[in-house]
């Protein structure tokens, strides 16, 4: 019978939610694994500092592990902060009774610099935990401490990984590259006498919890049945997204976003559904809309939420746009991401000022529409294409970005309607902005005097 993969984290709690069991459980959930937690230590922590540490008695740590193993079962586990020699010894001895794969993140120091492992505990880690490890995941400083080798380059990391595996009898060791300088962040795996590198471009982002979320992701993928190298590959992809789309909270080291490998896909579905509903709405009032469809056709687009909206590929619209067809409108293709470049750029520009405005559509300009916008209490702004700096005209999409930017700056907010009155060979046009595509379509219908009955609300 198919059942959900189960993973256990044995680690400390980070009250700030960015690292520790909090990061581990979010990672398990995001990767489709049922997560369980045995808390070793309670830290009073935020993105800036660790204020207090209160260790859980070793027998209570052991009791948490036994409780879940005996009832729920464990397909893979990880350890994080183990805090002191007493906890390490009890946990190490207990884990020897079970045979599930164990990922050991030998956490010693928090991102803020605070020590998370008492000095006497390093020895205990080597004696009781590392020999039981399926994989050990030290960062540069931890690998230096465990191996006694200085690490400056990938080659040093290789030597350290091998030495840690040989010396402590760990099945496999991956020395992480976050703190090893270079254009790429390279993690070096040593397993069964061989090395393998896992590399990703070094990026900007959020780093609180990288180590926790990375080792949790490896444990999650092992729980799902992946082999070691496959699991690491998936975890590497996971952590790179989690760093890139990190949560910009707090005044210190901002936390990684373990949902980054799940959320964009879920949001893609929501966006497609919303644009579909907007298109249905426009079609329902097709006769009223048709006269407002410009020569270049109409489109209605919606972006993924911030921070996932980073290029035109993260904005969905109608492929082939919406055109006039006799006295109504025709939708020329399916709804897809990357279908629009022009309007997509308008939305991305608006989102940089106010991330709530994720959708837009375009229609033919008319003075009546602008007058009605004012009477409906909508925010209106404009730009004059003839004032565009010439060097932008030759840049693909330059005009849109500049125009929307200019119109937003003019009123100090993202307007509901931006218009321009045309230029040589360019039709006068309006862009209607909304929090979603249905919102933008509804605004257009009100602007052209359609009375929308109770129907497809938002």
Of the residues 17, 209, 403, 434, which one makes contact with ligand ATP according to CB under 6 A: 209
In sequence order, what DSSP letters do the residues of 118-140 get, joined into one string?
Answer: -TTHHHHIIIIIGGG-SEE---H
In sequence order, what DSSP letters do the residues of 158-184 get, joined into one string?
Answer: HHHHHHHHHHHT-SEEEE--TTS-SSE
Site map (CB under 6 A) of ligand ATP, residues 231-250, x = contact:
-----x--xx--x-------
Q: Residue 446 corresponds to which tokens in the numbers above?
A: 């009100």
Taking contact as CB under 6 A, which single stretch among the options 200-208, 372-380, 381-389, 413-421 is the one that binds ligand ATP? 200-208
Q: Give yes or no for residue 79 binding ligand ATP (CB under 6 A).
A: no
Of the residues 147, 210, 274, 349, which one makes contact with ligand ATP according to CB under 6 A: 210
> In this complex, which beta carbon is closest to ligand ATP, that of residue 163 or of residue 202?
202
Taking contact as CB under 6 A, which single stretch among the options 188-196, 206-214, 375-383, 433-441 is the one that binds ligand ATP? 206-214
- The Cβ of residue 192 has, within 10 Å, a number of other Cβ atoms equal to 8
Long-range Cβ contacts of 260-269 (<8 Å, 24+ apart): 260/30, 261/30, 261/31, 261/237, 262/30, 262/31, 263/308, 264/304, 264/308, 264/314, 267/304, 267/305, 267/308, 268/304, 268/316, 268/337
Q: Give yes or no for residue 80 binding ligand ATP (CB under 6 A).
A: no
Cα–Cα distance, 96 to 98 (Å, whole number): 5
Q: Give yes or no for residue 111 binding ligand ATP (CB under 6 A).
A: yes
Q: Identify which of 76, 396, 435, 437 has the alpha carbon closest to the alpha carbon of residue 223.
A: 76
Q: Nearest approach, Cβ of 35 to ligand ATP (angstroms)?
A: 18
Cα–Cα distance, 190 to 135 (Å, whole number): 9
How many residues contact ligand ATP, by CB under 6 A?
22
Q: Nearest approach, Cβ of 241 to ligand ATP (angstroms)?
A: 10
3-state secondary structure of 415: coil
Q: Identify which of 38, 41, 48, 40 has the alpha carbon closest to the alpha carbon of residue 18.
A: 48
Q: Give yes or no for residue 13 binding ligand ATP (CB under 6 A).
A: no
Starting at the edge strand found earlier in the chain, the sheet holding 335-337 runs 335-337, 315-318, 300-303, 359-364, 429-434, 417-420, 380-382
Q: Give yes or no for residue 17 binding ligand ATP (CB under 6 A).
A: no
Q: Nearest approach, Cβ of 234 to Mg ion (angstroms)?
A: 19
Q: Which residues bind Mg ion (CB under 5 A)?
A: 211
Of the residues 42, 200, 296, 392, which one makes contact with ligand ATP according to CB under 6 A: 200
> In this complex, which beta carbon is closest to ligand ATP, that of residue 176 or of residue 443?
176
> In this complex, which beta carbon is closest to Mg ion, that of residue 205 or of residue 211?
211
Q: Nearest approach, Cβ of 187 to ligand ATP (angstroms)?
A: 5
Residue 383 near residue 418, CB atoms below 8 Å: yes
Q: Give yes or no for residue 78 binding ligand ATP (CB under 6 A).
A: no
Q: Nearest approach, Cβ of 18 to ligand ATP (angstroms)?
A: 9
Residue 189 near residue 196, CB atoms below 8 Å: yes
State which H helix or E strand residue 83 sits in.
none
> In this complex, which beta carbon is closest to ligand ATP, that of residue 207 or of residue 433?
207
Helix ranges (H only) for 203-323 are 210-223, 228-244, 263-284, 286-289
Q: Which does 356 bind (CB under 5 to 8 A by kind): ligand ATP, Mg ion, none?
A: none
> In this complex, which beta carbon is closest to ligand ATP, that of residue 19 or of residue 164?
19
Q: Which does 240 bind (CB under 5 to 8 A by kind): ligand ATP, Mg ion, none?
A: ligand ATP
Q: Which does 200 bind (CB under 5 to 8 A by kind): Mg ion, ligand ATP, none?
A: ligand ATP
Strand partners, 8: 36, 77
Q: Nearest approach, Cβ of 427 to ligand ATP (angstroms)?
A: 45
Side-chain-side CA neighbours of 393 within 13 Å: the count stands at 10
- Which residues in this chain contact ligand ATP in the complex, by CB under 6 A? 19, 111, 139, 176-179, 185, 187, 200, 202-203, 207, 209-212, 214, 236, 239-240, 243
């Amino acid at each position: 019978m198919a059942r959900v993969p189960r993973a256990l984290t044995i680690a400390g709690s980070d009250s700030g939610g960015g690292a520790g069991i909090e990061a581990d459980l979010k990672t398990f959930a995001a990767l489709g694994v049922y997560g369980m937690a045995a808390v070793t230590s309670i830290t009073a922590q935020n993105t800036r500092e660790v204020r207090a540490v209160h260790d859980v008695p070793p027998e209570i740590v052991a009791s948490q592990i036994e409780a879940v193993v005996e009832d729920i079962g464990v397909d893979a586990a990880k350890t994080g902060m183990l805090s002191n020699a007493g906890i390490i010894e009890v946990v190490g001895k207990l884990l020897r009774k079970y045979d599930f794969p164990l990922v050991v993140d030998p956490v010693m120091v928090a991102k803020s610099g605070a020590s998370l492992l008492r000095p006497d505990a390093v020895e205990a880690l080597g004696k009781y935990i590392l020999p039981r490890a399926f994989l050990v995941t030290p960062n540069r400083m931890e690998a230096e401490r465990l191996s006694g080798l200085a690490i400056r380059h990938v080659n040093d990391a290789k030597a350290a990984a091998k030495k840690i595996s040989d010396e402590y009898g760990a099945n496999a060791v991956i020395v992480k590259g976050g703190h090893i300088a270079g254009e790429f962040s390279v993690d070096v795996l040593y397993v069964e006498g061989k090395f393998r590198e896992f590399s990703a471009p070094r990026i900007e982002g959020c780093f609180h919890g990288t180590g926790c979320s990375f080792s949790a992701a490896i444990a999650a993928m092992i729980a799902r049945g992946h082999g070691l190298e496959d699991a690491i590959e998936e975890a590497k992809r996971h952590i790179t997204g989690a760093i890139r789309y990190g949560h910009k909270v707090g005044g210190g080291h901002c936390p990684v976003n373990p949902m980054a490998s799940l959320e964009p896909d879920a949001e893609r579905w929501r966006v497609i559904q919303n644009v579909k509903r907007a298109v249905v709405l426009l079609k329902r009032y097709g006769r009223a809309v048709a006269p407002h469809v410009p020569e270049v056709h109409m489109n209605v687009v919606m972006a993924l939420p911030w921070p996932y909206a980073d290029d035109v590929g993260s904005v969905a619209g109608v492929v082939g746009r919406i055109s006039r067809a006799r006295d109504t409108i025709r939708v020329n293709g399916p709804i897809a991401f990357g279908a629009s470049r022009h309007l997509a750029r308008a939305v991305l520009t608006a989102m940089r000022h106010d991330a709530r405005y994720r959708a837009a559509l375009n229609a033919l300009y008319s003075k009546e529409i602008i007058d009605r916008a004012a009477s409906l209490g909508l925010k209106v702004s404009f730009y004059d294409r003839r004032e565009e700096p010439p060097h932008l005209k030759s840049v693909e999409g330059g005009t849109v970005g500049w125009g929307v930017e200019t119109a937003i700056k003019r009123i100090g907010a993202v307007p509901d309607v931006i218009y321009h009155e045309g230029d040589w060979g360019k039709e006068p046009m309006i862009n209607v902005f909304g929090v979603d595509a249905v919102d933008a379509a509804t605004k257009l219908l009100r602007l052209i005097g359609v009375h929308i009955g109770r129907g497809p609300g938002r």
